[in-house]
Amino acid sequence: MSEVIGESTTTTAVQFSIYRYNPDKDEAPYMQEYTLNVPAGVDTMLLTALLRIKDEQDPTLSLRRSCREGVCGSDGMNVNGRNCLACITPLSSLAKRPIVVRPLPGLPVMRDLIVDMEPFFDQYKKVKPWLQNENPPAKEHLQSPQERELLDGLYECILCACCSSSCPSFWWNPDKFLGPAALLQAYRFLTDSRDKGRAERLKDLSDPYSVFRCRSIMNCVDVCPKGLNPTKAIGKIRKELLKEEI
């Protein structure tokens, strides 16, 4: 890093190496180097830096983003080998230079840092992420505070795909292993007192792939930007299956 003294601000030069691929133009993906002067003493977020590169240096650089505050889950990417949300990742937390930015692994790249999320959402759909109840109450469906508490740590998932795309089991079998994000949601509905589809849900999860491809390496826990624990939820699904089948 080198410091540049401007007229009124001090800036620091930060090097980036960014994955580029335009299927209409490029035969193969390549890494492109950029240098950006960021204000010293200000903890710039990675997304801000990437948008400045796009605005100031290269308008062809493509990435998804929306809320800029870690809520929408649009800007999941692989940074210095670790999946994260660019909007809540400060440059100061990235020790390695240049900062290597790649798309989420294990998902087809559409362009630059944009991946096709269809395989991820296909698995999400398989867990039927809605309440199953053929006889819902006429008015409100009440839950006790204890029943509601069981959903904590499960409902907060923003479906950014950081977890599933960091899971080798999902890389090898993206069509068969549901992946940590979908399994977290599977348990969220299994444990919901208002849901009555428990037996059917467990039956759908009992094959050798959907749940049991998880080897508990906990990459998902390590990268979850919301601090959730899909591995624990997967363990609880296994326990529910055990209770159901034994």
Partner 1 sequence: MVESVSSWSRNGLRDFLLQRLSAVVIAAYIVTLVFYFACHPALQYYDWESLYTASWMRIFSVLTLLSLIIHAWIGMWTVLTDYIKWILLRGLVQAVILLILSICFIWGIMILWSV
Question: Phi and psi at residue 168, in whole multiples of 5°?
Answer: -60, -35
Q: How far apart are CA 49 and CA 53, in angstroms?
A: 6
For the bound state, the minimum distance from the C-beta of residue 207 to partner 1, rounded and expressed in Å, comes to 5
Return the SS3 of 83.
strand
For the bound state, the minimum distance from the C-beta of residue 170 to partner 1, rounded and expressed in Å, comes to 11
* Residue 82, burial from CB neighbour count under 10 angstroms (0-12, 13-18, 19+): middle
Comparison of 6 and 208: residue with beta carbon closer to partner 1: 208
Return the SS3 of 69.
coil
Comparison of 66 and 206: residue with beta carbon closer to partner 1: 206
For residue 241, count other CB atoms closer than 10 A to its CB.
17
The footprint of partner 1 on residues 114-173 (CB under 8 A) is: 169, 172-173
Return the SS3 of 195.
coil
The footprint of partner 1 on residues 204-233 (CB under 8 A) is: 204-213
Comparison of 37 and 132: residue with beta carbon closer to partner 1: 132
Contacts of 227 by beta carbon, 8 Å cutoff, 6+ apart? none
For the bound state, the minimum distance from the C-beta of residue 208 to partner 1, rounded and expressed in Å, comes to 4
For residue 158, count other CB atoms closer than 10 A to its CB.
19
Comparison of 65 and 236: residue with beta carbon closer to partner 1: 236
Kindly state the number of chain residues that form the binding site for partner 1, as judged by CB under 8 A.
19
Segment interacting with partner 1, rule: CB under 8 A, options 35-43, 46-54, 87-95, 234-242: 234-242
Choice from 203, 216, 217, 222 touching partner 1 (CB under 8 A): 203
The footprint of partner 1 on residues 163-202 (CB under 8 A) is: 169, 172-173, 176
Q: What single-letter amino acid sits at 163?
A: C
Comparison of 116 and 207: residue with beta carbon closer to partner 1: 207
Comparison of 178 and 220: residue with beta carbon closer to partner 1: 178
Q: Which residues form the interface with partner 1 (CB under 8 A)? A: 169, 172-173, 176, 203-213, 238, 241-242, 245
